[in-house]
Every structure is written in C-alpha cells, then in structure tokens.
C-alpha cells in the first residue's frame, strides 16, 4: 500500500532525499476509442530541474501530464513522482504536486484572495498558515495590489499568474504547467517566465509543456520533443537549437515562381558565406536560410541577391521554432520526424510492437 503523506511540510522534506522527481518507464495510454495518444515514453527528471515537454497540437502533452498527475490511468508502463507510484500511491502523488491545467481553475466571481483561500482549503493547507502563504505568493507574482479585486477583472497574464499560485499554495516540490503561456502577449509571457524561474530557484521542480521552442529555450535545462505520442528527440535546448543550425533568415522574393526561387537558392549556395550556412530551403514565398551567424551574414546575402537582379520584398531574422526542429530532425523536412534520413543527434526511435 502507499505511504501516507502526513502533511505538506513532510512531503517537501521527503523530496530532499530523492534524486529523481519523475521517473517514467515505457509509459503509454490508449483512449477507449482506440486513439494511441502516448506510446512508450520514458523520462528521468532530476529534482530541481525545469523540464520542457515540447510538442505541437495533439502530440500527447496533456495526456502525459494527466498520467503523471494521476488524472488518467496509463494503459502501459510505470511512473513514480516524488518517489511515489502513481497507481498505488496516488494520494501521496497528488499531495506532493501542483498542477496548472490549460483550462483556468480560477472562479471569476471570487476575489483574488478568495480564490487562493479556496485553493488552500482544497489542498489542505493548515488554516493558521493560509494568510501568510497567500500574501507570500501574491507578492511573488506581483498581484498584491489586486488582492481584493474580482478575478474576472484581471488581464489574461494576471489570470495566468493567479492560476499558477493556486497550484503552489501547498508548497509542492513539483509543479506541472500545461502550456502556461498559450494565448499571452510576448510581454506577459516573458513576465510569467520570470515568476517560473523564481519558483524554481525556491526549489520547485517544474514540468512544463509548450508548443514554443523559444519558451523551452528560455526556461528549461532539459527537454524532450514529443511527436504523435512518442519522444523523438531530447537534450538541452542549446543542443536542439544547434541541430536546427542557428537562427533562421526568411527571405521573401518578388518573383515566387519555382524557377526564380531555384535561381535565388543557387545564388546563395554559390556565395562566399555558404560555408557558414546550414540549410537553404524553399518556402511559400521565397527561401529560408539557417545559420549560426544569421545576423551577420544576412546583409551579405541580401546584397548578393540584389546584385544579380533578384528583387527582395521581405527579410526577417528569427529564432528557430518547433517546426524548424522537426525540419532539422529530417533532412528533407517531412512532417513525420520518425521517418528515415534522420540525423543522429539524440534522436530516439523504437520498434513499434
Ligand atoms: N478523451 C480523449 N479521448 C480520445 N482521444 C483523446 C482524448 N483526449 C485527447 N485525445 C487524443 O489524444 C491525442 C493527444 O492529445 P493531447 O491532448 O494529449 O495532445 P496535446 O499535445 O496536449 O495537444 P494540445 O497542444 O492541443 O493541447 C490527440 O490525438 C487527441 O485527439
């Protein structure tokens, strides 16, 4: 039988003695309608880490997080969270984690403080400690001035911050964040990242799902890329970005015919800076070029193209995205990164049973 957790303080003490916050082995879930949402996922996440679970819509991120938080029973595999088995010690798992779901858990008709009081009651925080804990968390996420405001009057970013604190009232050693910044503007997103960093510095392990490589890069020490229910790559964000080959130059051409795009591609491939370029790929409206020195060589490329009479109508340099990672995982940029022609770096493949 499972080990009962005496109190939320006890849970935290226990965690200090454990080196792995999450350990999943051959985890799988097939929904009752036959959808194989997660297949054979294995993870080892050390205590204190910010771990990123990166994937597109429908990849299986939420299904995985729901298994790790005991909301769904896996159909295959084993998982321990904080050392507790999710099947046989689910109460202990639930008491030792916080979970910020994609859907907000805030009651818009209650004030900010009332929402947090509700969360304290739900998580069994001793009443004598509630007021101090609420004040501390509101200060942490800069919402002290909003304490008595109705939650419905908060901005999108403020609501997300409140939602995150509601998952933290019982001081869990691990917090699960399911796409916490989706729908936020860049400024609100960056601000939320700062709070997550602070929470992590206070000792909380973070398991974060995201569709944004930029977010994983900003926050995570380690990440796994999930595609169609399977982990297809893992490693440090810098390794994944290196796989992409650096930043991405997007060049929009006035003439977007196949011949014109091929001509522009040939000009770039014949240029002096080609040895600093990782890939040159046709896009919908021109070409994309990846290079570790994209910002430096960009102007050279523009000048070179213009000199041979090619008209450029748009030019943009950006950080790589998840799509770029998928593109780089397959030399040809096909949509399924499990296909053949894979590059070797940390690419995981398995035999399907
Ligand atoms: N309750 C369910 N019953 C059947 N299939 C489901 C159920 N929930 C999710 N799925 C399917 O399982 C797969 C994985 O879904 P999941 O929600 O885990 O993906 P996700 O990576 O979290 O996506 P998103 O970024 O859109 O939230 C999808 O094909 C989805 O349609």
* Least confidently predicted of 94-108, 183-197, 287-301, 318-332: 318-332
Split at pLDDT 50, 70, 90, the class of 143 is: very high
- What percent of the chain shows pLDDT beyond 70? 88
97 shares its domain with 37: yes
Domain boundary among 218, 241, 264: 241
27 shares its domain with 69: yes
Ligand 1 atom nearest residue 226's Cα: 21
Per-residue pLDDT, 330: 58
CATH for 271: 3.30.70.260
78 shares its domain with 174: yes
235 shares its domain with 257: no
Phi, psi torsion values for 189, nearest 5 degrees? -65, -50
Residue 35 beta carbon below 6 angstroms from any ligand 1 atom? yes
Residue 60 beta carbon below 6 angstroms from any ligand 1 atom? yes
- 35 CA distance to ligand 1 centroid (A)? 9
pLDDT beyond 70 at 343: no
179 shares its domain with 276: no
Q: Which domain holds residue 57?
A: 8-105+167-241
Q: How do 174-178 and 84-85 pair as beta strands?
A: unpaired
CATH for 23: 3.40.50.300
Per-residue pLDDT, 184: 84
Ligand 1 atom nearest residue 182's Cα: 25
Residue 63 beta carbon below 6 angstroms from any ligand 1 atom? yes
253 shares its domain with 278: yes
Residue 37 beta carbon below 6 angstroms from any ligand 1 atom? yes
270 shares its domain with 192: no
pLDDT beyond 50 at 350: no
Provide ipTM, 2 decimals: 0.97
Tokens read off for 247: 């930043």
Mutate to test the pocket of ligand 1, among 30, 53, 58 (most ligand atoms within 8 A of CB): 58
Q: Give mean pLDDT, residues 79-105.
A: 93
Nearest CA to ligand 1 atom 13: 37
Residue 127 lies in a domain: no
Q: Give mean pLDDT, residues 86-102.
A: 93
Number of domains the chain is built from: 2
The tens digit of pLDDT for each residue in 169-210 reads 999 999 999 999 988 888 888 988 999 999 999 999 999 999
- 102 CA distance to ligand 1 centroid (A)? 12
pLDDT beyond 60 at 2: no
Q: How do 84-85 and 76-81 pair as beta strands?
A: antiparallel
Measured CA to CA in angstroms, residue 150 lies from 143, 154, 310, 337, 342 at distances of 12, 8, 57, 46, 52
Contact indicator for 174, 98 with CB cutoff of 8 Å = yes
Give the residue, 351 or 85, on which the prediction is more confident: 85
Residue 118 lies in a domain: no
Per-residue pLDDT, 15: 45
Nearest CA to ligand 1 atom 2: 31
The tens digit of pLDDT for each residue in 166-178 reads 999 999 999 999 9
199 shares its domain with 260: no
Split at pLDDT 50, 70, 90, the class of 336 is: low
Cα(2)–Cα(347) distance, integer angstroms? 36
271 shares its domain with 227: no
Residue 47 beta carbon below 6 angstroms from any ligand 1 atom? no
Domain boundary among 196, 224, 241: 241
Q: Give mean pLDDT, residues 292-305.
A: 90
Residue 183 beta carbon below 6 angstroms from any ligand 1 atom? no
Split at pLDDT 50, 70, 90, the class of 17 is: very low
Q: Give mean pLDDT, residues 117-128.
A: 93
Residue 58 beta carbon below 6 angstroms from any ligand 1 atom? yes
202 shares its domain with 235: yes
The strand order across the sheet containing 312-318 reads 279-282, 286-291, 247-253, 312-318
Residue 66 beta carbon below 6 angstroms from any ligand 1 atom? no
Mean pLDDT of the chain: 86
Residue 292 lies in a domain: yes
Residue 61 beta carbon below 6 angstroms from any ligand 1 atom? yes
Split at pLDDT 50, 70, 90, the class of 4 is: very low
pLDDT beyond 50 at 263: yes
Q: Is the pTM of this model over 0.90?
A: no
Per-residue pLDDT, 318: 87
The tens digit of pLDDT for each residue in 322-331 reads 777 777 775 4
Residue 151 lies in a domain: no
Nearest CA to ligand 1 atom 16: 60
Q: Give mean pLDDT, residues 12-22.
A: 62
The tens digit of pLDDT for each residue in 43-69 reads 999 999 999 999 988 999 999 999 999
187 shares its domain with 231: yes
Split at pLDDT 50, 70, 90, the class of 145 is: very high
Cα(159)–Cα(153) distance, integer angstroms? 9
Per-residue pLDDT, 183: 83
Per-residue pLDDT, 329: 72
The strand order across the sheet containing 205-210 reads 97-100, 174-178, 205-210, 50-54, 222-227, 230-235
Residue 59 beta carbon below 6 angstroms from any ligand 1 atom? yes
Residue 264 lies in a domain: yes
- 66 CA distance to ligand 1 centroid (A)? 11
Residue 305 lies in a domain: yes
pLDDT beyond 60 at 345: no
- 29 CA distance to ligand 1 centroid (A)? 11
Cα(325)–Cα(173) distance, integer angstroms? 31
Q: How far from chain centre, in Å, is Cα 229? A: 15
- 62 CA distance to ligand 1 centroid (A)? 7
- 112 CA distance to ligand 1 centroid (A)? 31
Residue 160 lies in a domain: no
187 shares its domain with 293: no
Split at pLDDT 50, 70, 90, the class of 278 is: confident
pLDDT beyond 80 at 341: no
Residue 143 lies in a domain: no
Per-residue pLDDT, 270: 94
């Amino acid at each position: 039988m499972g080990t009962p957790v005496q109190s939320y303080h006890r849970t935290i003490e226990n965690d200090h003695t454990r080196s792995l916050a999450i350990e999943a082995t051959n985890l799988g879930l097939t929904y009752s309608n036959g959808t194989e949402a997660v297949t054979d996922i294995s993870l080892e996440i050390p205590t204190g880490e910010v771990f990123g679970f990166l994937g597109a819509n429908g990849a299986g991120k939420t299904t995985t997080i729901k298994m790790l938080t005991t909301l769904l029973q896996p159909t295959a595999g084993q998982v321990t969270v904080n050392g507790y088995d999710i099947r046989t010690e689910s109460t202990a798992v639930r008491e030792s984690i916080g979970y910020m779901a994609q859907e907000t858990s805030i009651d818009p008709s209650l004030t900010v403080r009332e929402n947090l009081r509700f969360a304290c009651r739900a998580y069994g925080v001793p009443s004598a400690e509630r007021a101090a804990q609420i004040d501390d968390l509101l200060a942490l996420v800069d919402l002290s001035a909003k304490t008595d405001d109705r939650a419905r009057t908060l901005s999108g970013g403020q609501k997300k911050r409140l939602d995150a604190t509601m998952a933290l009232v019982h001081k869990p050693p691990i917090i699960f964040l399911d796409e916490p910044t989706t729908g936020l503007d860049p400024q609100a997103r960056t601000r939320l990242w700062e709070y997550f960093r602070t929470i992590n510095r206070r000792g909380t392990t973070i398991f974060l799902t995201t569709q944004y490589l930029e977010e994983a890069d900003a926050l995570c020490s380690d990440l796994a890329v999930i595609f169609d229910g399977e982990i297809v790559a893992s490693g440090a964000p810098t390794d994944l970005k290196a796989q992409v080959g650096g930043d991405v130059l997007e060049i929009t051409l006035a003439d977007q015919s196949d011949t014109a795009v091929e001509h522009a591609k040939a000009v770039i491939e014949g240029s002096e800076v080609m040895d600093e370029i990782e890939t040159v790929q046709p896009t919908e409206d021109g070409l994309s070029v990846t290079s570790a020195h994209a910002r430096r060589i960009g102007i050279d490329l523009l000048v070179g193209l213009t000199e041979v009479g090619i008209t450029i109508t748009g030019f943009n340099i950006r950080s790589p995205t998840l799509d770029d990672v998928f593109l780089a995982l397959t030399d040809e940029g096909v949509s399924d990164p499990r296909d053949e022609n894979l590059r070797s770096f940390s690419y995981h493949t398995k035999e399907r049973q």
